[in-house]
Amino acid sequence: MKLSERLRAAQGEGGRHRVDQISASQVEEGVADGAAEGAPLPADTAEWRPFGTGSARTTPVPGPTGTPGGPPSDSTSGVATGGAAVAGPEHAKPSPTPRPTGPSEALVRFKAEAREELFTRLGGRLTDSGLEESELHKLVRRELTALVHGAEIALKPEERWQLIADLTDDVLGYGPLQKLLEDEDVTEIMVNGYADVYIERDGRLHRAEVQFTGEDHLRRVIERIVSRVGRRIDESSPLVDARLEDGSRVNAIVPPLSVDGSALTIRKFGKVPLTVKDLIEKESLSPSMVALLEAAVRARLSVLVSGGTGTGKTTLLNVLSSFIPGDERIVTIEDAVELQLQQEHVVRLEARPPNIEGRGEVTIRDLVRNALRMRPDRIIVGEVRGAESLDMLQAMNTGHEGSLSTLHANTPRDAISRLETMVLMGGMDLPLRAIREQIASAIDIIVHLTRLRDGTRRVTHVTEVQGMEGDVITLQDAFVFDYAAGVDHTGRFLGTTRPTGVRPGFTEHFQELGIELPEHVFEVELPRRSRW
């Protein structure tokens, strides 16, 4: 277990050790496994954050801004209050006189100094990607021990724990973001500057009650993230995409490009990716839509997932790809790897940005072209956003049917026009009609996602690309979201995405392919029963 986890475990329910009995040497050993059982900490100890920097609690927007957590209550439930920096019998009793300065004030100062000191002692080794993580942990433990030994400030046991946990998060983890990263309900973290952190929880934006102590603190966390993936960020290379160990996607941008201080955006993906069952439970998809989409993927129809930013396109793409039979060879192509396919026969390719000298770039387009020489049964492109769209369309039209991708668009019709624009921007001098013909014959279905005002993400359209009528690509909705059903008193949408009653033309081939699709899938008044 990581040091920070052990420290936190010792604070929480499962590991309530008498913290005033834990010495600095136990910190060195990784802390507290062997610490004596004793009086429990006050119930609120685990929640308490001395500086408002460690709490994952949030306030909805608009709300109070980054207010610190309240001070700890001094005397509850049998805890030795007034414990001092150095554990020992003389400190076990409550201190007869109150400390001259408030705990927060003294602690804030000490913590800031200790953090600076730790960073100074560790120096460049913190961002040295050549240093093994375990080596770094050992090093930090040693320095932290020395600092705890040398602490002259009177610390209560819980303050000491909090201090150690926070410092460990700062140095080995992601500082004040650590708790947000560990909170499974938080799906996105947005840092707009050191004092301005927002999160997305349950599909809604909230202001988080955490902040960095300053721009330097934020920059250190950013540097730690990017150095772990062998990248660097500074004025000459001020924007970086990276990934955390758990697969979360990170974008960092620093001044001068980001005018008001560094900005960091982390898209979290659960350790276990959302499954089709999850999406049905969240009402993003209905069982009927799933039946249709599963049949379509198995029948090698090409599907384009469209939607605005953060609507769940990649997640749905991942779910759709789970319908690909296990005996097919899949090549995935992404800017930064996000897809988590469950099949075994998968080759994952990742594009590469240019290096500092502007060389070495490998684009999505290069990878699509390369993938064609890898005998793929299916090509999955994480997102088409440029010149690769033409290559993708050509691949779909020349024996690589059944390929899947996503694209930013506001409606299914918009998805078509964006695709046209991308092909035009790719520099190929093709007449618009030829481009449209390529699109109409390559794409069979557009699945459109929307993040509704109530925070839910729903598939609002399943649309068939029928073909061309004159110069226009004809689209036909098979399912659309029923906005007319309105919202309830909490603002939640009451509607669902319903069949329009029109059976898509492509389903005619299902039977010859041996794919069964129940008739009720397209019945307008569909009973809401689950087949899962």
**What does the binding site for ligand ATP look like in residue numbers (CB under 6 A)?**
187-188, 267-269, 274, 279, 282, 284, 307, 309-315, 457
Report which of 110, 74, 77 is spatially closest to residue 94, judged by C-alpha positions: 74
Shortest approach of Mg ion to residue 332 CB, angstroms?
13
Nearer to ligand ATP, 53 or 311 (CB): 311
Strand positions, DSSP E, 322-427 = 330-334, 346-350, 378-381, 404-408
Helix residue spans in 327-374 (DSSP H): 364-371
Shortest approach of ligand ATP to residue 265 CB, angstroms?
9
Nearer to Mg ion, 415 or 478 (CB): 415
Q: Is residue 314 a contact residue for Mg ion (CB under 5 A)?
A: yes
Q: Is residue 58 a contact residue for Mg ion (CB under 5 A)?
A: no
Residue 264: left (phi > 0), alpha (psi -120 to 50), or beta?
Answer: beta
Query: What is the DSSP code string of 411-450?
Result: SHHHHHHHHHHHHHHTT----HHHHHHHHHHH--EEEEEE
Stretch in the footprint of Mg ion (CB under 5 A) among 86-94, 311-319, 434-442, 444-452? 311-319
Shortest approach of ligand ATP to residue 501 CB, angstroms?
25
Nearer to ligand ATP, 6 or 268 (CB): 268
Residue nearest to ligand ATP (CB): 312
Helix, coil or strand: residue 58? strand
Nearer to ligand ATP, 147 or 250 (CB): 250
The β-bridge relationship of strands 346-350 and 330-334 is parallel
Q: Which two tokens stand for residue 49?
A: 């954050």
Binder of residue 282, out of Mg ion, ligand ATP, none (CB less than 5 to 8 A by kind): ligand ATP
Nearer to Mg ion, 80 or 368 (CB): 368
Measured CA to CA, the distance from residue 178 to residue 266 in angstroms comes to 12
Residue nearest to Mg ion (CB): 314
Binder of residue 290, out of Mg ion, ligand ATP, none (CB less than 5 to 8 A by kind): none
* Binding-site string for Mg ion from residue 258 to residue 297, where x marks contact by CB under 5 A and - marks none: ----------------------------------------
Shortest approach of ligand ATP to residue 102 CB, angstroms?
39
In angstroms, what CA-CA distances link 73 with 22, 27, 42, 50, 153?
21, 25, 8, 11, 19
The β-bridge relationship of strands 239-243 and 303-307 is unpaired
Nearer to ligand ATP, 164 or 447 (CB): 447
Shortest approach of ligand ATP to residue 370 CB, angstroms?
23
Shortest approach of ligand ATP to residue 354 CB, angstroms?
22
Nearer to ligand ATP, 111 or 457 (CB): 457
Nearer to ligand ATP, 10 or 317 (CB): 317
Measured CA to CA, the distance from residue 203 to residue 505 in angstroms comes to 35
Shortest approach of ligand ATP to residue 273 CB, angstroms?
8
Reported as type and span, the H/E element at residue 243 is: strand 239-243
Q: Which two tokens stand for residue 482?
A: 């029923």
3-state SS of the chain: helix, strand, coil percent to 5?
A: 35, 20, 45
Residues near Mg ion (CB under 5 A) are: 313-314
